[in-house]
Amino acid sequence: MKRQALVPALGLSCALVAAIALCAGPSGWRLPWPVTDVITELRAPRVVLAALVGAALAVAGVAMQSLLQNDLADPFVLGLSGGASAGAVTSLAVAPGMPPGPAAAAGALGAAVLVRWLARGPYDPARLLLAGVAVGSIGASATGLVLVLAPSSRLLRASTYWLFGGLGTPAWSSLIAPAVFLFAAVAWMIARAERLDRLSLGPDVAASLGVEVPALQRTVLLLSVALTAVTVSAAGVVGFVGLIAPHAARRLIGQGHRGLIPVAALGGALVVMLADTVARTAFAPREVPVGLVAAAVGGPFFLLQLQRGLR
Amino acid sequence: MTRVLEAVGLAVGRGKTAVLSGVNLAVEAGERLALVGANGAGKSTLLRALAGLDPVLGGTIRWNGGSLPLGAERVRTLGVLFQTETPSRFSVRELVTLGLGLDGPASPPDRARVDALLERAGLTALAERSCAQLSGGEAQRALLSRALIADPRLLLLDEPTNHLDPARQATLLGWFDRLRGNTAVILATHDLALAATCDRVALLDDGRVSHLGTAVEVLTPENLTRTLGVGVRRLDDPNGGPPLFRVVSA
């Protein structure tokens, strides 16, 4: 496919998947008219949230991989998943009546700040990654401890959606701020696409090619962590998408961020919308966490793509 | 005419410890200067400071009479060829285009300029290939093209012939002469024969620039024996070409 056709094609695919998602419910498939409250107040905002979460995680993943020059980097790599899980589970155990989103986001942000502080001094991706792994492990073990020491099946079940991602039933009004932030972040990054290209070659090369490296690193790190925290506060830890969508996008359109960012964002939106549709309907009336579905469906697909690339 | 680079009373080091101090260097347009010294003498440290990558511990550096600009003006002032650079998955054409320091897609004249340089560097057939799939010599040519695409007034090269066999060294130097035009060059090298092809040589020893002058003045057996700690015999070319050096036991 021509590169120029990729963004419109992905956009159309997203619209198609969104339409399918609107038709799909726990009681089976039904055309979305006449339009009922179920469509407008339950399914539609959830589909929009799925798209926002997928796009935000994909863009954060692109940013993290370029910032750290590491293909294994994902939005949660700096300890964010451990921090988010610990925050969410603690909130559920201590204040079961409260929505755990803010605590999850605070945990993710706290972990990122701690990691950046631990790896302070001259910028060093290896130290950031190591600190991220350590802080993430501590967060994961804290999560496990809370689950083991406060054992109630209700806590365990509620926690699952925050540990592996769940989109719930968002209100339209709660989607406005994340959407505005996502579009602003994407616009900011696309406007600096060529600087991000140079940054992905490493800080020394980027500086020698005219990039004001520390300022760009700071802002990109901040944006990536903030995008991730926003998704965490709405949907818990949706793994896999932020790792795979950037890679799939790189294979489709190459390394240049001007094309990579929109393609990854649309790809991420597509994957999460699709995964959430399956998560809502496959085991109806029970729902499964969307992150598990994304990994279970997306993993084999990605491995197939990888095998084809290796040949 | 302003100097392409002027360093006065420069002190450079890693962290807060000075490796070199009292360095005074000036490079004119089109000139070629070699930095020669033993391992740890501070060649790379000095080169990094001259590239504006590390803050200096003392003294001043002026590029074209001023400080280093950002963006497209930076790459017109200074190009750098690093000793090692992890191969990226950008295509050769994309990599060279990044050397223009643009904030936005390349314009048609810019694209024509990239094509012309790729042609001169013998990379046209490889233009769409990922840099990760290039041979060592091809990658070095692509990186050199990236450093030269903006036509910088000064080029800094760190061990440009490292890890290359003699045939590739000769080829690279050929490319290098063909591509660089009127760009001034400062290169750090262990390769005395390469240093001898430069207009001037700075010998780094004992935390300072111990000798600075033409290759014939500086690269004497006595100087080299003192700074490198080995016996060196110089074989001058009767036809006036650059001399050869032979290391003999101390």
Q: What are the tens digits of pLDDT across the range A68-84?
A: 988 888 998 898 889 99
At B206, the amino acid letter reads D
Q: Indicate the average pLDDT of chain A.
A: 89
**What pLDDT, in 10s, does the model give residues B159-214?**
888 767 777 777 777 777 776 778 899 999 988 888 888 889 999 988 888 989 99
Closest CA of chain B from A78, distance in Å:
23
Q: Does A193 score more than 90 pLDDT?
A: yes
The rounded percent of chain B whose pLDDT value lies above 90 is: 42
Nearest to B131 by CA among B70, B90, B169: B90
Q: How many residues does chain B have?
A: 250
Instruction: State the pLDDT at residue A309.
Output: 63
Contact status of B91 with chain A (Cβ, < 8 Å): yes
Q: Rounded to two decimals, what is the model's pTM? A: 0.90
Give the chain A residue nearest B106 (alpha carbons). A194
User: In sequence order, what are the beta bridge partners of B156?
Assistant: B80, B186
Instruction: State the pLDDT at residue A1.
Output: 54
Q: Is the model more confident about B61 or about A33? A: B61
**Interface A:B, Cβ pairs < 8 A:** 64
**What pLDDT, in 10s, does the model give residues A2-43?**
678 899 999 999 999 999 998 888 777 777 667 777 787 788
The CA R_g of chain B, rounded to the nearest whole Å, is 18
> Per-residue pLDDT averaged across A108-130, rounded?
89
Q: Is the model more confident about A305 or about A1? A: A305
Residue A84 CA to its chain's centroid (Å): 13
Interface contact flag, A200 B69, Cβ < 8 Å: no
Closest CA of chain A from B98, distance in Å:
7
Of A132-146, A172-186, B2-16, B152-166, the range with the lowest mean pLDDT is: B152-166
The CATH number of B5-249 is 3.40.50.300
Q: Does B38 score more than 90 pLDDT?
A: no
Instruction: State the pLDDT at residue A3.
Output: 76
C-alpha distances in Å from residue A207, one per residue of A124, B99, B142, B159, B197: 15, 11, 18, 19, 29
Distance CA B182, CA B1 (A): 15
Q: Indicate the average pLDDT of chain B.
A: 87
